[in-house]
Amino acid sequence: MSTSPSTSPNPAPRPSAGAAIALNPIGPPTKHQLAVMIWVAVFPTLTVINLTLGPYLKDTNPVLRTFVLATIAVPIVIYGLMPRLHRVRARLLSRRTA
């Protein structure tokens, strides 16, 4: 005898659409906020990597140097810094609305 999800004895509670909105009042960043967040993440990352690896890459072709810097910087920014900046933004905006 199979039991369908709608007839199970203890169905899991499903949040209503209103509950989901109440839990997450902070929407995605505006394009201006995102631009600032990206700049805040990219500029210091590229500066540190350039200062660290600059002496080793000073004699390389500028295209190769840019490729190396971007290959290191992009994962740091996308997977390391941007999620943190999104959390900081959400925290700041939730304080403002609270």
Residue extents of the structural domains in the chain: 28-97
Along the 98 residues of the chain, how does pLDDT read in single tens digits?
555 555 556 655 565 555 444 555 689 999 999 999 999 999 999 999 999 999 999 999 999 999 999 999 999 999 999 999 999 999 999 887 76
Which residue in 95, 96, 52, 97 sits closest to 72, CA to CA? 52
Which stretches of 1-98 are DSSP H helices? 17-23, 31-57, 62-75, 82-97
